[in-house]
């Protein structure tokens, strides 16, 4: 009942780990999969190791968290070892990659595609260094170039992860589709946002600014999925503020075939996956839905 298919890749259920949360090593991703996720997305990594920002990198705020990790990662060679240790039987593994140039993205795709089922392009991080993340995804031209370069060498489906921090997300979505993206995930964190420590009169985060995630951004994510669903013909993955089965149903009705979960794990633990799956299956049975396919996009009818 809960199975969903995205670009020919079958997920046992529509829930997956979002990039950036517990996706740094195989043991944590295997834990997520055993806890009920249908798939996992790794933490974003690059060709070479990157230290990211110094602590503090995360702060709680009303309705979620603000983070500026700075895309810290050990580099592709080290990450390949972790990807190779993930238990892939009946599980979907997605690598999240980032770079600054088409050559960097295409090189990363070539390096890791034999170890994963899909690849997600991080062209949307709002607290990345200049030339990375949202600085790519806010430009139609740069987005097209990066997606096209990745597709030129890809043997697995390519997902472009979109930023909400644009004037019109549908234009970026259509650009990525035109460049060959097989799927879109949306949205990345909102912002940048800031929290100030009033005792010392300074921003809490070392980077000062960070991306907002959590419950507060869900209405924006739902709206963006709804709008993009009407603008493109490729499948969508919803991201942003998923805590309950009701949240999942909203995303699916808006047009997503699956959702990614991040901040909720920090608040409620890995049990969030099994709980949502149980409640979602009961909802579907009560409402007479026999498959996820029957539910996708019906808010548009």
**Looking at the annotation, which residues are catalytic?**
125
199 CB burial (10 A radius; 0-12, 13-18, 19+): exposed
Q: Cα-flanking dihedrals φ and ψ of residue 236, to 5°?
A: -120, 150
* Closest of 245, 274, 246 to residue 12, by C-alpha: 274
Query: Residue 78 and residue 65: Cα distance in Å, rounded?
Result: 28
């Amino acid at each position: 009942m809960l199975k969903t298919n995205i670009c020919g890749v079958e997920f046992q259920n529509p829930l997956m780990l979002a990039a950036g949360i517990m996706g740094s090593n195989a043991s944590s991703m295997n834990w997520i999969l055993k806890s009920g996720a249908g798939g996992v997305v790794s933490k974003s990594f690059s060709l070479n190791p990157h230290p990211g920002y110094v602590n503090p990198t995360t702060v709680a705020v009303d309705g979620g968290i603000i983070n500026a990790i700075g895309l810290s990662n050990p580099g592709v060679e080290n990450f390949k070892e972790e990807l190779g240790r993930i238990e892939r039987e009946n599980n979907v593994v997605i690598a999240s990659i980032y770079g600054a140039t088409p050559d960097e993205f295409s090189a990363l795709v070539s390096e890791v595609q034999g170890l994963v089922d899909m690849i997600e392009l991080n062209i949307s991080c709002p607290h990345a260094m200049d030339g990375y993340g949202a600085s790519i995804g806010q430009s139609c031209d740069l987005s097209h170039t990066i997606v096209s370069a990745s597709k030129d060498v890809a043997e697995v489906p390519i997902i472009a992860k979109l930023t909400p921090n644009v004037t019109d997300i549908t234009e970026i979505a259509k650009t990525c589709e035109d460049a060959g993206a097989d799927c879109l995930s949306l949205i990345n964190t909102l912002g940048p946002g800031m929290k100030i420590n009033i005792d010392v009169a300074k921003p809490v985060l070392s980077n000062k600014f960070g991306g907002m995630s959590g419950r507060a951004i869900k209405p924006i994510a739902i709206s963006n999925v709804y709008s993009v669903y009407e603008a493109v013909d490729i499948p969508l993955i919803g991201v942003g503020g998923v805590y309950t089965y009701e949240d999942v149903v909203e995303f699916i009705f808006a047009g997503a075939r699956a959702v990614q979960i991040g901040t909720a794990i920090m608040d409620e633990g890995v049990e969030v996956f099994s709980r949502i799956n149980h409640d979602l299956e009961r909802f579907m049975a009560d409402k007479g839905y026999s498959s996820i396919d029957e539910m996708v996009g019906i808010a548009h009818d």
